[in-house]
Amino acid sequence: MPALAKLVGEGRIGQVGVSNYSLQRWQAAEASYGGPVMSNQVRYNLLDRRPEGELLGWAQREGRIVIAYSPVAQGLLSGRYDVDHKPPGTMRSGSAAFSEEHLQRVRPVLEALREVAQSHGATPAQISLAWLIRRPGVVVIPGASSVEQVEANAEAADIELSDDEDRSLTAASDGYRPLDKSRVVAIATSQRIHSLAERVRARGHRTPSATR
């Protein structure tokens, strides 16, 4: 932090931020820096609201910024995927987050997003962003793989959710329960084995039979 303070003092940079810091580390960084560490980039979305525990309230009181990355949970909140429409041939397909078991858990949140999205002529992804932007002191950094996605992300800033819509989305999020770590490991391992078996079959090889 002293090195960053030196760069600010020399006018090379304007502000200092951190990423994935707990509140204690953020405050310690400010003490070391000797001034405001203006932002903390953390994972924050309707399925992962851990920043609300400590970070968000402190940031709002102190005039700091929480930068939400993965605001649509790597596409889980985009509305593109569900138990009947799983991601094909990508890294997502091997993730426990996109397993049938987890997609079932996410369904109530997606249903709430789709309902609100329909009333605004928007997409679930845009509503996910609008819900985050409505939190004071929060900005979002959604990913985009096309110009159309960039434009859609920007349009989310113009969506004004009502208090009732906000409460509906928050209530759906409150009811969500993530997979515990043991299930994540078990599902991810099973999916890797299945994927490997599929690749072997596609190459025309046979898996060796067990010897006695």
CATH of the domain at 78: 3.20.20.100
Contact 97, 91 (CB under 8 A): no
Condensed to tens digits (0 to 9), the pLDDT of residues 115-142 reads 999 999 999 999 999 999 999 999 999 9
Q: Domain containing 127: what range? A: 14-178
Is 205 among the domain residues?
no
Specify the pTM.
0.83
Is 57 among the domain residues?
yes
State how many domains the chain has: 1
Is 101 among the domain residues?
yes
Is 104 among the domain residues?
yes
In the chain, DSSP assigns E strands to 17-19, 39-43, 65-69, 138-141
pLDDT band of 167, cuts 50, 70, 90? very high
Across 71-80, 84-93, 111-120, the highest mean pLDDT is recorded for 111-120
Is 162 among the domain residues?
yes
Is 194 among the domain residues?
no
42: nearest Cα among 34, 54, 51: 51
Is 154 among the domain residues?
yes
Is 7 among the domain residues?
no
